[in-house]
Structure 1
Amino acid sequence: MNNNFKENMNFPNYWNWKGFKICWSVRGEENEIPIIFLHGFGASRKHWRNNLEFFAKRNCASYSLDLIGFGESDQPGIRQIGRLNNEIWCNQVRDFIAQVIRPKSSGKVILIGNSLGSLVALTCAVSLEDQIATVIASALPDQIQGNKKTLTNKDVFKKFKDRFIKIFFIFFPLEIILFLITKLGVIRLGLNTAYFKKDNINSELIDLVTKPVLRKTSARSLRAMCIGMSLRDEKLQTSYLLSKLSSSKKVPFLLIWGDKDNFIPLFVGKKIANFHRWVKLKIVPNSGHCIHDEDPSVFNNISYEWIRDLKTL
């Protein structure tokens, strides 16, 4: 990788979002086609270190963003921000487009996400569909239902369940858990599960994932995420969002899935493509959960071919 680009990633730009410090990097900012790369859970903008330059050389203004709570962005807790979920991260992306990208480009924005970042991209595609050219999602989390689920829980039970979840995570010793995770090699174990090609798990990758966890504010932010994601409204879940997007089909949607994904198995991607025929599924053999980092050249070429053929730009 280009050394200048490494420096670019290590010394990010800062953006003030609602009083919180947000980190972001860009390559080819003067280019015409804006792309935002959205990382997965536990990762950061640096997880796209093998992707941004490829797109920057192809007339794309390639932005990578640390979602709030991750990377080098602020890690607020419940008292500072309330619950953290894909609605909050979608709002962050929306304002990033308005305040950082729009002064330089009026074009539709491409969103490329991995795992949690894919869910955030899908959320943005629904709420900002007139501004989004396409979504490229590398694995998409959440349960997938073919038909709209009928809610049978009574309001009283739901309130009890929500309160129990909130109390549980407030008192659950996340500070101790995160300390043990960093000391007992759990991060390396997790990466070994996520990556099919083990040679890609090097000190740079481990450092990328470990550093944010070592920050003093990481536990409080994780607590806000656990509560926020567990208590999300149905309208923030993948099945509902895909159904909502299906009704307009304004945003072309590409799924890129590794056939060796142990975190979100391939059958989930096939289920999505079966229920929503307008979604294109591309399967990458012998690749795991993080194709963009495990097989960057394959991921980059599949994504660029899709972008090149778009009619919405």
Structure 2
Amino acid sequence: MENNQKKENINFTNYWIWNGFKICWNAVGEENEIPIIFLHGFGASRKHWRNNLGYFAKKNYAAYSLDLLGFGDSDQPGIRQIGKLNNEIWCNQVRDFIAQVIRPKSTKKVILIGNSLGSLVALTCAVSLEDQIATVIASPLPDQIQENKKTKIIDKPLLKNFNDKFITIFFIFFPLEIILFLITKLRVIRLGLNSAYFKKDNIDRELIDLVTKPVLRRTSARSLRAMCIGMSSRDEKLKASYLLGKLSASKKVPFLLIWGDKDNFIPLFLGKKIANFYRWVKLKIVSNSGHCIHDEDPSVFNKISYEWIRDLKTF
């Protein structure tokens, strides 16, 4: 009976209106005191944490997962509705989710666990909400890392304005609608999942559906266009090198990287590079696992994450 209840809680969808947009989220163990927010990767959704929320709820954590704006069942605004979609916008979404949904129930610091793009969003939140974040677990962390730890922000407004306008014009005319149509018809999604997952048996119908259904919505192309423009033209201050540098100054937020040694999307050498440049960042390598360890090897991922959180002294 208890397991059935847990499953129902994971599948029950909550709705939250954020800046006029509908946001979908799930929670298990909301009555527990210490909150965890799980942030999905590009093309995924809150449902990608299907094998993680229940585990942490049983460990007495309030486990939340939400669809970032433009993904899953959340609204998919285009450039006319939102302008650009990037990790700053998603960070603001998480900030307000904490303030409006979590804070009425708990005043404890929040744990952020991210996969890929979700890891970048978690890192962005750790910098802007430093005093509210207990730790970040990133599995893995995308973005190029500059070899110089002290990333300099070079002020070239004319060049940046030109680049931004070029990027905007390019993606306005780029036929994303046709591309997405072909992706769904030519089974490209299954090919992508085969590249992301080292263990192919984990690619089940539920996983394929949770990735495919958002793409089939009529607003998906316009939202993808806003993401392409937003992520391609974002400031240096929104990139991982700068954000890690900012976080290094205080080291208030413990940072764990969990990386699969068979990750084809973001190779392990990048994780080692981050851990080498930023010695306060801890790296845990998972053998024979790919880009989505939390879903491919959930028992391993949950154990590593729980033990890291359990030993924290930041609450």
Superposition TM-score, scaled by structure 2 size: 0.97
Where structure 2 has 5 or more consecutive residues not aligned to the other structure, the ranges are none
Cα displacement string for residues 141-173 of structure 1 (whole angstroms, at most 9, x for unaligned residues): 100012145567854333222211110000111
The change in CA–CA distance for 1:207 and 1:247 in structure 2 (over 3 A counts) is: same
Measure the CA separation in 1 of the matches of 2:170 and 2:216.
Answer: 23
| Residue of structure 2 in register with 1:311 after alignment | 313
User: Could you tell me which of 175, 178, 197 is aligned with 1:176?
Assistant: 178
Cα displacement string for residues 46-81 of structure 1 (whole angstroms, at most 9, x for unaligned residues): 000000000000110000010010000000111111
SS in 1 for 2:182: helix
The change in CA–CA distance for 1:151 and 1:303 in structure 2 (over 3 A counts) is: closer
4+ residue stretches of structure 1 with deviation over 4 A?
A: 149-154
| Residue of structure 1 in register with 2:256 after alignment | 254
SS in 2 for 1:250: coil
SS in 2 for 1:232: coil
Measure the CA separation in 2 of the matches of 1:99 and 1:200.
Answer: 35
| Residue of structure 2 in register with 1:38 after alignment | 39
Q: In the alignment, residue 278 of structure 2 is paired with which amino acid? A: H
For residues 220-235 of structure 1, the aligned pairs below 5 Å read: 220-235=222-237
Structure 1 position 6, deviation (Å)? 3.6
SS in 2 for 1:71: coil
Deviates more, 1:161-170 or 1:250-259: 161-170
| Residue of structure 2 in register with 1:71 after alignment | 72
For residues 132-147 of structure 1, the aligned pairs below 5 Å read: 132-147=133-148
The change in CA–CA distance for 1:99 and 1:267 in structure 2 (over 3 A counts) is: same
Measure the CA separation in 2 of the matches of 1:222 and 1:41.
Answer: 10
Measure the CA separation in 1 of the matches of 2:29 and 2:156.
Answer: 52
| Residue of structure 2 in register with 1:242 after alignment | 244
| 1:52 matched to 2:53 | yes
Measure the CA separation in 2 of the matches of 1:3 and 1:211.
Answer: 25
For residues 1-313 of structure 1, the aligned pairs below 5 Å read: 2-147=3-148, 148-149=150-151, 154-313=156-315
Percent of aligned positions with the same letter in both sequences? Answer: 84
The change in CA–CA distance for 1:4 and 1:277 in structure 2 (over 3 A counts) is: same
Contact map agreement 2:10 2:28 (CA 8 A) in 1:
no
Cα displacement string for residues 245-265 of structure 1 (whole angstroms, at most 9, x for unaligned residues): 000000000000000000000
Measure the CA separation in 1 of the matches of 2:34 and 2:4.
Answer: 24
The Cα RMSD (Å) is 1.4
Q: In the alignment, residue 139 of structure 1 is paired with which amino acid? A: P
Measure the CA separation in 2 of the matches of 1:151 and 1:137.
Answer: 25
Measure the CA separation in 1 of the matches of 2:30 and 2:276.
Answer: 37
Contact map agreement 2:24 2:74 (CA 8 A) in 1:
yes
Where structure 1 has 5 or more consecutive residues not aligned to the other structure, the ranges are none
Measure the CA separation in 2 of the matches of 1:170 and 1:20.
Answer: 22
Measure the CA separation in 1 of the matches of 2:90 and 2:119.
Answer: 11
The number of residues matched between the two structures is 313
